[in-house]
Amino acid sequence: MFARKLAPVLAGAWFAVALMAGPTLTTIQDVVYNADGTPYNGLAIIAWTPFQAGDTSKIGTQSVTINIVGGNLFVQLVPTTNATPSGYYTVTYVSAGKNQFTESWAVPPSTKPMQVRDVLMAPLASSSPLVSGGSPLTETNVTGLVADLAARPVEGANYLSGRAAVIDATGALEAASGNVSDCLHVDGSSGPCGTASGAAGPAFVDSEVPGGVVDGANTAFTLSQTPAPSSSLAIYRNGVLQKATQDYTVSSNAVRFQTPSTPQPGDTLLALYRVTPAGAPQGPPAPQVLCSGTGSATSSTTTTSLGTCTIPAGALQAGDRVRINFDYSHEGSLTGFTFTVNWGNTLLVQRNGGAADALITGWAEGGASPTACQLSVETWGTVLGLANGLLNGYDSFSYPIVLTFQARMAATTTDTVTLRNFTVVHVPKTP
């Protein structure tokens, strides 16, 4: 009876011991000497990264330190040659508090003790999967690597070190050709600096004192050259940078200060700007969009401003032109409306649209002369017939000229009139 009861207990105990049994180990046993023949004394630090042993045991990242006394080395390790992934141990020898040397061990399964020479590996050219924690990776296995490599610039056939790099038509990097003293252009070509063929870079005017009397009343000053472009001009008054259009306006080489910013006696003015280099090809100045946008709407029977555009003081010079385009729309069909456009204090156009006029459009153009601006205008609508006009605007160029787009309804209804779009373009004269 007692034997029958004890048998299951012993069987369970044997099974528990079997479960607790560790992986199969290989013994490495040897005697280590110093180069002078004396026994080595110190430590051996053996490190590894996770792997699965040949018997499927899971081996976690860890290291073990063993003492070597009198040269005697003894350690038992899980085999690595049949591990997944296959790899090796890194063994660092430490003596007198210093790392003396490092070697790699590939441990095979063995029931007999092995010496270091049996597990010692030749120096590795690259890291082992067991040490790095994975199998070697190819470029295609790295997310995004191939695409990133394809996106990077590559060396072209004419790439040379020590030269300025340019990008050819295929996107490859090439070496710029030419003499060491040449200038490199944005298109990758090169040539002598300062040539009349257009290779010349911009010239600069620094710390110029504008011409004109600083008496607290004079607002008109001149520069020795024309800034190119005009936006390159920087004017300092007593060391404080002035703001274009807010403190002054510039046209060609003429600078005109706004009244609140008029230079006072004792003030110091300095101008810095770029100019077109001598010999560079001269072209006509580019048109300047002074204003462009949409306006508002009204259903009032009182004349209402729906949009404005200001031509800065001094911006217009004799020989300049101004182009004005505008579009109105009429929402509803109960009543007519009146629209007007004013050039400063000059009535440029005033016409009456009918109840059936859903759209109105027009343009005006002005040519500046020394004493006035000759203005021509045409307007028409959905029903409204074409009409034109010609007149002079005597508003002084020395002061801001405000263009006003207005409208009013003929009667009180739910109808509205809207300024849909307006554009004012300044075309400077050719120097």
Same domain for 385 and 308? yes
CB atoms closer than 10 angstroms to residue 49: 19
Domain assignment of residue 123, given as a range: 12-129
Q: Is the pLDDT of residue 301 over 80?
A: yes
Q: What size, in residues, is the chain?
A: 431
CA–CA gap between residue 325 and residue 290 (Å, rounded):
12
Q: What is the pLDDT of residue 137?
A: 66
CA–CA gap between residue 261 and residue 236 (Å, rounded):
12
Q: Quick one: which of 73, 64, 66, 58 has its CA closest to 120?
A: 73
CA–CA gap between residue 39 and residue 20 (Å, rounded):
38
Location of structure tokens 């298109």: 187
Same domain for 347 and 227? no
Same domain for 419 and 292? yes
- Helix%, strand%, coil% for the chain, nearest 5: 10, 40, 50
Same domain for 109 and 231? no
Same domain for 96 and 48? yes
What's the average model confidence in pLDDT over 302-327? 92
Contact between 394 and 346 (Cβ < 8 Å): yes
For the ranges 288-292, 341-345, 388-392, the lowest mean pLDDT is seen at: 288-292
Q: Is the pLDDT of residue 12 over 60?
A: no
pLDDT confidence band for 321 (50 / 70 / 90): very high
CB atoms closer than 10 angstroms to residue 341: 25
Same domain for 292 and 253? no
Per-residue model confidence as pLDDT tens digits over 410-431: 999 999 999 999 999 999 887 6
CA–CA gap between residue 345 and residue 171 (Å, rounded):
58
For the ranges 61-65, 128-132, 182-186, 247-251, the lowest mean pLDDT is seen at: 128-132
Q: What are the Cα distances from residue 274, in Å, to 248, 249, 265, 277, 372? A: 18, 16, 28, 9, 31
What's the average model confidence in pLDDT over 130-137? 52
Instruction: For residue 428, give the amino acid letter.
Output: P
Provide the CATH number for the domain around residue 43: 2.60.40
Same domain for 410 and 340? yes
Q: What is the pLDDT of residue 172?
A: 81
- 378 vs 131 pLDDT, higher one: 378
Which of 227, 244, 275 is a domain's end point? 275
Location of structure tokens 């100019």: 275
**E-strand stretches of 238-320:** 240-241, 248-251, 254-257, 269-275, 288-293, 297-298, 304-311
- The CA angle 154-155-159, to the nearest 5 degrees, is 155
Q: What is the pLDDT of residue 67?
A: 93
CA–CA gap between residue 342 and residue 305 (Å, rounded):
10
Q: What is the pLDDT of residue 282?
A: 55
Q: Is the pLDDT of residue 279 over 70?
A: no
Contact between 103 and 91 (Cβ < 8 Å): yes
Question: Is 147 within the bounds of a domain?
Answer: no
The pTM is what? 0.42
For the ranges 200-204, 292-296, 370-374, the lowest mean pLDDT is seen at: 200-204
Same domain for 312 and 421? yes
What's the average model confidence in pLDDT over 35-43? 91
For the ranges 37-46, 91-100, 123-132, 257-266, the lowest mean pLDDT is seen at: 123-132
CA–CA gap between residue 15 and residue 7 (Å, rounded):
12
Same domain for 209 and 93? no
Same domain for 293 and 252? no
Same domain for 420 and 303? yes
Same domain for 355 and 243? no
Which pair of tokens denotes residue 347? 């009535």
Q: Is the pLDDT of residue 384 over 90?
A: yes
Q: What is the pLDDT of residue 194?
A: 54
Q: Is the pLDDT of residue 132 over 70?
A: no
CA–CA gap between residue 247 and residue 20 (Å, rounded):
90
CA–CA gap between residue 310 and residue 305 (Å, rounded):
14
Per-residue model confidence as pLDDT tens digits over 149-170: 777 788 887 777 777 888 877 7
Contact between 366 and 375 (Cβ < 8 Å): yes
Which of 129, 159, 176 is a domain's end point? 129
Contact between 245 and 309 (Cβ < 8 Å): no
Q: What is the pLDDT of residue 414?
A: 96
pLDDT confidence band for 136 (50 / 70 / 90): low
What total of structural domains would you count in the chain?
3
Q: Is the pLDDT of residue 395 over 70?
A: yes
What's the average model confidence in pLDDT over 376-405? 94
What's the average model confidence in pLDDT over 140-151? 75
Q: Is the pLDDT of residue 7 over 70?
A: no
Q: Is the pLDDT of residue 130 over 50?
A: no
pLDDT confidence band for 284 (50 / 70 / 90): low
Which of 95, 110, 129 is a domain's end point? 129
The phi-psi region of residue 238 (left if phi > 0; otherwise alpha if psi is between -120 and 50; otherwise beta) is left
Question: Is 172 within the bounds of a domain?
Answer: no
Q: Is the pLDDT of residue 340 over 50?
A: yes
What's the average model confidence in pLDDT over 198-225? 84
Q: Is the pLDDT of residue 143 over 80?
A: no
